[in-house]
Amino acid sequence: MDVAGCNTSHDWLTNLITGIVITGLFISYAPQHYRIIASRSSEGLSPLFLLLGSTSSAAGMWNMITLQWSVARCCHVVSWGRCVEMTAGVFQVSVQWFCFTLIFVLYMKFYPEHRKYVQLDLEASDDARTSLMRIKTPVKSSEWRTSLLCAWVTLGHFIFSGVTTLYLMLTAVPTPAPEVPLPAPVQSWATFLGVTSAILAAIQYAPQLVHTYKHKVVGALSIPMMCMQSPGAVLMILGIALRPGTNWTSWFTFLVAGVMQATLLVMCIAWKFRQRRLGIDDFGNPVVSPSMAEPADSGGIVVEVSSDAVVEDERTPLVRK
């Protein structure tokens, strides 16, 4: 039975898939959140990866809100339970956005202090002995500056997309029923968000793949999270595609992200075996003996100290030419 053009029938299969996906999102992201908090370090994560992932998931969320706005309007004529059921798709992509963006928040909070600013190791000598003096400069490292820029861009994108979406929704002529196409400007905005989300998702993992390949260590990445999410992308796609009012722009982003994440998972597993063989941990620190460990490339900033000394970061010894 329909009320005021609103579909009140129940789709138990879609609801079951959506419920499993939402629960799975919380469970699958938990290892990554815990790993950063427990190690108190976000080293190994790429800020560009977090920027693209946060903006992609935000665009996907606003896309879903736009497409299902007319469905949400039915909440005033149906029961509370039916309203939750009808808008579960919005909640699903919102959880996806929240969980991923929380990784970015934790990344900024637990960014290693010794990598935020350029540090110089200077040689000090007296008549008795020679020692190294570490001097912390007020100059921000390039990666920390990039991280700050990515954080501000992510926040700006979220605010702009949200304000634009709400403005269009509140000023557009309401459709008489969810089955009626949205006004042209609203439909164009929804398509733009969906395509943008898909494009960002397509390139989202590229910086992280390059970053992880370059450093050849797992870092703060969580393999259990990727093991759960890679196959879970199939359920995520089904849970969205079966929702009324959605189209390919709503789920294509998750298809692309799933394939890219599976590639990153394979790379991390390969680096795990390499780390065990070399006797180093996930951050490139030796766990067996210094002679057996191969330090990971820190990718830090090279600072010219003098004509015969170069310093990369706090773990790099003074190099003499």
pLDDT per position as a tens digit, 247-282? 776 677 678 778 888 889 999 999 999 998 888 888
3-state secondary structure of 277: helix
Q: Structure tokens of 294?
A: 């191969």
pLDDT tens-digit map of 235-251: 777 777 777 667 776 67
- Looking at every residue in the chain, the average pLDDT score rounds to 79
Distances (CA, A) of 308 to 302, 305, 311, 319: 13, 8, 10, 8
φ, ψ for residue 124, nearest 5 deg: -120, 135
Contact 74/179 with Cβ under 8 angstroms? no
User: What is the number of other CB atoms lying within 10 angstroms of the CB of residue 294?
Assistant: 15
- Residue 104 has phi, psi (to 5 degrees) of -65, -40
- pLDDT band for 307, please (50, 70, 90 cuts): very low
- Lowest-pLDDT range, 60-74, 165-179, 187-201, 301-315? 301-315
Q: What is the pLDDT of residues 103-161, one digit of tens each?
A: 999 999 999 988 888 776 666 555 556 666 666 677 888 899 999 999 999 999 999 99
Residue 248's contacts (CB-CB under 8 Å, 6 or more residues apart) are 194, 241
Q: pLDDT class for 298, splitting at 50, 70, 90?
A: very low
Q: Is the pLDDT assigned to residue 36 strictly greater than 90?
A: yes
* Contact status, residue 206 vs residue 263, Cβ threshold 8 Å: no
Residue 306 has pLDDT above 50, yes or no: no
Q: Which amino acid is at 233?
A: A
pTM score above 0.85 = no
